[in-house]
Amino acid sequence: MTDHTIVCKPTRDTFMRFAIVLAAFFGFGMYFFYDGSVGYRKANEAFFTYQAFAQLGKDVTESSAAEWAATRASSPLLKAQQDESGLYIEQNEQRFPLPDNCEPATICPPEAADFAALSKGWNECWLAYSARMHYPEKPGEHGHDTAAIREQWYAGSVCMLISAIIIWLMLRTSRRVMSLQGDTVTAAGTSFSIADITLLDLRQWGKGFKGIAYATVQGKRIRMDGMTYGGFSPDAGEPAEQFMQALLSRYQGKILEYEKPDKKVG
């Protein structure tokens, strides 16, 4: 038999799968970071502003127009506090961070100062203000405290760590091949002689299975991944199957349940 070299390189599909998973984790990570730095704070602004308008609807019935104008002119809508970490609202011994440029924490919006409009119904005033500020008409059912924001940073960091691992795996895969040169097999970053193989486990090999085989060499199981390296595409001549058939033609040891899927007839 001709002693030629068969080299199975990583398939395009392999990198496509890597890219899809990488995009998912990286995208989730960026989403978590956005919520931790911006999103949850904006949600808190909308949530507590909505609550403030609802409270104004109750308070306006107990005030005169003159009293309302005087109070609103000197009071911001939200009773926020500020320290070195920024603006926040404290409620039930929990701290709810706000954006640094939170308008209702510094002034009273004109929609909240309109005594006549609020007397008719605070919800209309809220809808006008939320439209101007691009708030949702119905904010969430609760605010996000510092613990919830911290969780977003933790979740984002985990996603970015997984993304880094995926990139490392992509780079490692791109530098590897599965090959057969004479009596030397290279797989999983390891080279070994066919004579050193004591068992070939082919139960998961083939296009209809997982495309994975294991060679036992000096008590160590070495993975040969045909789906990742070479592939089973008929258009490319099924490089992984060529590799395995060439290996089997040289190997004289024990084989564990080699099964090749039956080809469809008709």
Q: Is residue 74 within 8 Å of 158, Cβ to Cβ? A: no
Q: Which of 136-140, 170-174, 233-237 has the highest mean pLDDT?
A: 170-174
**Contact yes or no for 108/72 (Cβ under 8 A):** yes
What would the pLDDT profile of 209-239 be if each residue is shown by its tens digit? 789 999 999 999 999 999 999 999 999 899 9
- Could you tell me the CA-to-CA distances from 166 to 27, 134, 211 in Å, in that order? 13, 37, 21
Residue 207, pLDDT > 60, answer: yes
- Collapsing DSSP states into helix, strand and coil, what is residue 110? helix
User: In angstroms, rounded to a whole number, what is the distance separating the alpha carbons of residues 112 and 109?
Assistant: 5
pLDDT above 60: residue 2 = no
Assess whether pLDDT exceeds 70 at residue 58.
yes
Average pLDDT over residues 30-36: 97
Please answer whether residues 35 and 203 qualify as being in contact, where contact means their C-beta atoms are separated by less than 8 angstroms.
Answer: no
3-state secondary structure of 61: helix
pLDDT at 184 over 90: yes
User: What rounded mean pLDDT belongs to the chain?
Assistant: 91
- 212: alpha, beta or left, given left = phi > 0 and alpha = psi -120 to 50? beta
pLDDT by residue (tens digit) across 93-107? Answer: 999 999 999 988 888
Q: Could you count the other beta carbons within 10 Å of the beta carbon of residue 104?
A: 21
**Cα 266 from chain centroid?**
44
pLDDT at residue 133, as a whole number: 92
pLDDT of residue 1: 43
Predicted model pTM: 0.81
Is 175 within 8 Å of 5 (Cβ atoms)?
no
pLDDT for residue 26 is more than 90: yes
Average the pLDDT over 73-100 and give the result.
90
